[in-house]
Amino acid sequence: MKLQVLVLAGDGIGGEVTREAVRVLRHVAGKWNHTLTLTEGLLGAVAIHKTGTPLPDETARLAEAADATLMGAVGLPEFDNAPPDKRPERGLLGLRQKLGVYANLRPVRAYPSLLGSSPLKNDRVEGTDMIIVRELTGGIYYGTPRGISGSGAEERAVNTMTYSRPEIERVTRMAFHLAGGRRKKVTSIDKSNVLENSQLWRRVVIETAREFPAIELEHMLVDNCAMQLVLNPRRFDVVLTENMFGDILSDEGAVLAGSIGMLPSASIGDRKPSGAWVGLYEPVHGSAPDIAGQNKANPLGAVGSVAAMLEYSFGLKDEAAAVNSAIERVLQSGKVTADLQPRGKPATTDEVGEAICAAIG
């Protein structure tokens, strides 16, 4: 198979973790005889520095042409006080919108070998296996009007949380399809006791769910969900939610699994004529500038994102399973980075990447 992949390393530890993810991708391509073509592009702060904009046209063009895009991380502290449209993050948001990747899949699993790294007691977190389906191209991240106006006591800021019926329907269908291949339960998260936006969300989810009579649907308010994630994470199978709630809940979910460095994500949109999903693959963690360039970032979120790419964009289930099982075996071997608190000396970013390739064989 021909695999055309665009790599956007981005900022901070993005370069280090994508380097290891690419190492694994090359290894898989070699082993299964796929022809891998890699291109590189600029996104985020590095793109601002080199071109003046966080999402250069060239990057958008390359991403639309590629079969799949692998992203590292975006964001640097020097932009902390910049307005949202001048920040590195805007590049990522623009790319998600351009590609139309409206569903962001974030699997949260408690690996047995990582139970000790979870902040929760082992008996609480053990057996956790959920996937957060976060709406990714709508809601308050994109709604208008937005902005800051006025000055002095008159200064005010506005953001708008907006969803249309079709936007809710398509991500709901994605969640229910996924639930069909899992434990057949969807928990839809909203704040319908306060927000009209959430009232529409809940109503459309209920109506769309009728297309999937075999799947159980429940609703939960977002504040309660934040609590249930730490009280009883095992109760969740597929968690369906809007953009900002999903952003917040997925960081919480990530750390249940031991470290945010572990969490991969797949952002997918509609299918291309070839049948492949349009896909942007990105670890959930940020650019972690405090540890950038030190070869100590955990590359497993990025490596897991490669597994997701193989599965969703290329339909290569065996290859994806081989990567995921290599992750499990490397975790068991204890060759892990410092964030996972290994008993012995922590492994470096590239040692973990090499260990994954060796485990794939």
In the complex with Mg ion, the residue whose CB is nearer, 247 or 339, is 247
In the complex with ligand IPM, the residue whose CB is nearer, 319 or 339, is 339
Indicate if 191 belongs to the active site. Answer: yes
Q: Which of 135, 190, 242, 247 binds Mg ion (CB under 5 A)?
A: 247
67 binds, among Mg ion, ligand IPM, none (CB under 5 to 8 A by kind): none
89 binds, among Mg ion, ligand IPM, none (CB under 5 to 8 A by kind): ligand IPM
**CB of 77 closer than 8 Å to CB of 290:** no
Q: C-beta of 248: minimal distance to Mg ion in Å? A: 8
Q: Does 135 bind Mg ion (CB under 5 A)?
A: no
Q: C-beta of 105: minimal distance to ligand IPM in Å? A: 12
Residues that bind ligand IPM (CB under 6 A): 74-75, 89, 92-93, 247, 284
75 binds, among Mg ion, ligand IPM, none (CB under 5 to 8 A by kind): ligand IPM
In the complex with ligand IPM, the residue whose CB is nearer, 23 or 134, is 134
CA distance 9 to 289: 14
Nearest residue to ligand IPM by CB is 89
Q: C-beta of 245: minimal distance to ligand IPM in Å? A: 11
319 binds, among Mg ion, ligand IPM, none (CB under 5 to 8 A by kind): none
Indicate if 141 belongs to the active site. Answer: yes
Q: C-beta of 260: minimal distance to ligand IPM in Å? A: 10
- Stretch touching Mg ion by CB under 5 A, among 61-69, 94-102, 240-248, 340-348: 240-248
Indicate if 318 belongs to the active site. Answer: no
- Stretch touching Mg ion by CB under 5 A, among 41-49, 195-203, 246-254, 300-308: 246-254
Indicate if 251 belongs to the active site. Answer: yes
Count CB neighbours of 350 within 10 A. Answer: 14
Q: C-beta of 347: minimal distance to ligand IPM in Å? A: 25
Catalytic (active-site) positions = 141, 191, 223, 247, 251
Name the site residues for Mg ion (rule: CB under 5 A). Answer: 247
